[in-house]
Structure 1
Amino acid sequence: MAIREIIEVPDARLRTISKPVEVFDADLKTLTDDMLETMYDAIGIGLAAIQVGVPQRILVIDLQEPDPEDEEGKRVIRDPQIFINPVFSEQSEEHTLYNEGCLSVPEQYAEVSRPAEVTVDWHDLDGTPHKERMTGFMATVIQHEMDHLEGILFIDHLSRLKRDMVLKKLTKLRKAA
């Protein structure tokens, strides 16, 4: 496994529409292992393949819950999930607001409205199809990550004024570093 570089705005590759995965092989397993390692290293909860420069319809997500038996709260229970060629087959009309951030827009957060529930169809690493209704935080995270597959960033859901403010803050942070 290897940690890959995460592409950040304004890199034009983030606007690429990703292509479907056609071959389920050892290279795909290596890529998803690298993506998980990269996501954990960056202390993220989701990562799309395009964020590491691979324009394929691949997502990794791990909401990482604290281990209830760890009294110091330092250990987490990892539950990595891999989604190959995910698509929405249904979305609720009800929406929820979450304060979202993104590894490709580091240290910036803004409230985004998304459907509260989504039904997702996808394949696992073996090519086996799955379908699941997702709610709550997982519904938000998978929608955020699936946006990446279409070249959309969470800041694209903001008003122009808010988006410009986020990008200005990011520019200031980069200059200060």
Structure 2
Amino acid sequence: MTLPIVAYGDPVLKKKAEEIDEKYPDLDKLLENMFETMYAASGVGLAAPQIGLSIRLFIVDGTPFAEGEDGDPACEDFKRVFINPIIFEETGEEWGFEEGCLSIPNIREEVKRKSTLKIEYYDENWDLYEEELSGIPARIVQHEYDHIEGVLFTDKISPLKRTLLTGKLSDISKGNVDVGYKMRFPKLKRK
């Protein structure tokens, strides 16, 4: 089932999410719905707060970044579930890359991030992993991890750029945006 994606301005997107345990109800169904929602919106990642759940869970599928002549081979089979993740190290040169977000449609801005990270997380079977990621896979994870920390990519751009986006961000929160997927807008005026 495709779920509505929460739009910019909803308080759930600015809240630090809570850990879950193996008893979390219907986790398999939730993950299935999250992947279906992410694919329907042509995303490469989706965090639980983006569907209104303040829990430490996100999914990724970086496959679209593996395609084309500029594709990153590290994204080829980069499909994962991250439960209760902890990034415990970020290293390397900061590099800029234009990011977007399903909760902030039609806005893309360059965000600088470290090139490599080390992360610990549980997968959908509650197996514990420790992994080092670099390049695009690291960036996708950093972006989604920010969501469970209550941080949006627009928080990482310059204050001037953020000011210039104020009108567009306000329009998104009011539902004045054209998207090809279901969304829930926090300031939409009901008629």
CA distance in 2, matches of 1:78, 1:121: 19
User: Given the two structures, how large is their TM-score scaled by the length of structure 1?
Assistant: 0.86
Give the partner amino acid of 1:148: H
Aligned ranges 1:1-177 → 2 under 5 Å: 2-23=1-22, 27-65=26-64, 80-171=79-170, 175=176
Task: Tell me which of the two structures has the higher relative contact order, counting C-alpha pairs closer than 8 angstroms and 6 or more residues apart.
Answer: 2
Rounded to whole Å, the distance in 2 between the matches of 1:99 and 1:35 is 24
* Whole-angstrom CA distance in 2 between matches of 1:151 and 1:172: 21
1:26 positional shift: 6.4
Unaligned runs of at least 5 residues, structure 2: 68-75, 179-191
**Residue 29 of structure 1: how far off its partner (Å):** 1.2
Contact 1:6-1:103 at 8 Å conserved across structures: yes
TM superposition shift of 1:95: 1.0
Question: What's the CA shift for 1:127?
Answer: 1.1
Offset at residue 11 of structure 1 (A): 1.1
Shift of the 155–128 alpha-carbon distance from structure 1 to 2, 3 Å rule, reads same
Identity of aligned residues (%): 33
Which ranges of structure 1 fall in alignment gaps of 5 or more residues? 69-76
SS at structure 1 position matched to 2:26: helix
Deviates more, 1:21-30 or 1:53-62: 21-30
Secondary structure at the counterpart of residue 130 of structure 1: strand
Which range is displaced more, 31-40 or 78-87?
78-87
Alpha-carbon contact 2:8-2:169 (below 8 Å) kept:
no
The superposition leaves residues 120-147 of structure 1 with CA deviations (integer Å, 9 ceiling, x where unpaired) of: 1100112110011100111111000000
Distance 1:5 1:172, change over 3 A: closer
The alignment yields a C-alpha RMSD, in angstroms, of 2.2
Deviations 1:99-127 (A, max 9, x none): 00000110100000111000111001121
Compared with structure 1, are the counterparts of its residues 22 and 175 closer, same or farther at alpha carbon in structure 2 (3 Å cutoff)? closer
Query: For the structure 1 residues 124 and 159, does the alpha-carbon distance in structure 2 shift closer, same or farther, using more than 3 Å as the test?
Result: same
Partner of residue 74, structure 1: none
Number of corresponding residues: 168
Supply the distance in 1 between the matched residues of 2:17 and 2:6 (Cα, whole angstroms).
15
